[in-house]
């Protein structure tokens, strides 16, 4: 659906501007998901998704696509959880990239496995063609694995 290619797991970490989207979910378990993507990858993904040139994209359009990406990843991950409760996802929103998720890329850079845990969060980090994407899911009650291996 997003017409991009996931090139590999993690390469050398090079800091660059990022877009962060987050949402919460109610259900069993309840929790939150944060998605952090490099600005260049966000622009590339958005151009593919909206079938337009990167140069023509507005910041709002990029934010809309990143929010939708977070929504899809969260819904897809939660659909793997065996739960009697139906999950309800909040509307994704763009977050201040200075939040604590700022540490996730550094953690991803030092991890040998693209799937790992920091504290009580499960994290998946991948390289897209044009940058890095890091997803963190935190729940009050762990029901892993949320990410496919």
Partner 1 sequence: MAYRVLIVDDSPAMRSFVRRVILLSGFELSECFDAGDGREALSLLQHEWVDAILTDINMPGMDGEEFLRLLAADDVLRSIPVIVISTDATQTRIRRLMALGARGYITKPFVPETLRAELEATLGVTVD
Applying CB under 8 A, which residues contact partner 1? Answer: 1-2, 46, 49-51, 61, 64-65, 67-68, 71-72, 74-76, 78-79, 83-84, 86-89, 91
Instruction: Check if the beta carbon of residue 67 is closer than 8 Å to that of residue 59.
Output: no
The whole-angstrom separation of Cα 79 and Cα 61 is 27
- Closer residue to partner 1, CB minimum distance, 14 or 85: 85
- The least distance separating partner 1 from the CB of residue 12, rounded to whole angstroms, comes to 29
| Residue 47 CB burial class (10 angstroms; 0-12, 13-18, ≥19) | buried
- The least distance separating partner 1 from the CB of residue 141, rounded to whole angstroms, comes to 18
- Closer residue to partner 1, CB minimum distance, 4 or 142: 4
Cα-based distances in Å from 102 to 19, 23, 54, 75: 11, 16, 25, 23
- The least distance separating partner 1 from the CB of residue 37, rounded to whole angstroms, comes to 14
- Closer residue to partner 1, CB minimum distance, 4 or 109: 4
Q: In terms of DSSP bridges, do strands 131-139 and 121-128 run parallel, antiparallel, or are they unpaired?
A: antiparallel
- Closer residue to partner 1, CB minimum distance, 84 or 98: 84
Identify the three-state secondary structure at position 28.
coil
Question: What are residue 141's phi and psi, to 5 degrees?
Answer: -140, 115
- The least distance separating partner 1 from the CB of residue 51, rounded to whole angstroms, comes to 6
- Closer residue to partner 1, CB minimum distance, 62 or 122: 62
The whole-angstrom separation of Cα 35 and Cα 19 is 8
- The least distance separating partner 1 from the CB of residue 14, rounded to whole angstroms, comes to 27
């Amino acid at each position: 659906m997003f017409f991009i290619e996931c090139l590999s797991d993690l390469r050398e970490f090079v800091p660059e501007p990022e877009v962060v989207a987050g949402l919460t979910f109610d259900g069993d378990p309840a929790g939150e998901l944060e998605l952090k993507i490099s600005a260049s990858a966000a622009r590339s993904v958005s151009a593919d998704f909206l079938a337009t040139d990167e140069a023509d994209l507005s910041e709002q359009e990029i934010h809309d696509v990143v929010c939708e990406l977070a929504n899809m990843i969260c819904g897809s991950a939660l659909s793997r959880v065996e739960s009697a409760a139906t999950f309800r996802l909040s509307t994704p929103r763009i977050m201040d990239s200075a939040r604590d998720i700022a540490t996730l890329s550094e953690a991803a850079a030092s991890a040998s496995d693209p799937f790992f845990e920091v504290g009580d969060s499960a994290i998946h980090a991948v390289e897209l063609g044009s940058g890095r994407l890091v997803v963190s899911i935190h729940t009050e009650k762990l029901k892993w694995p949320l990410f496919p291996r």
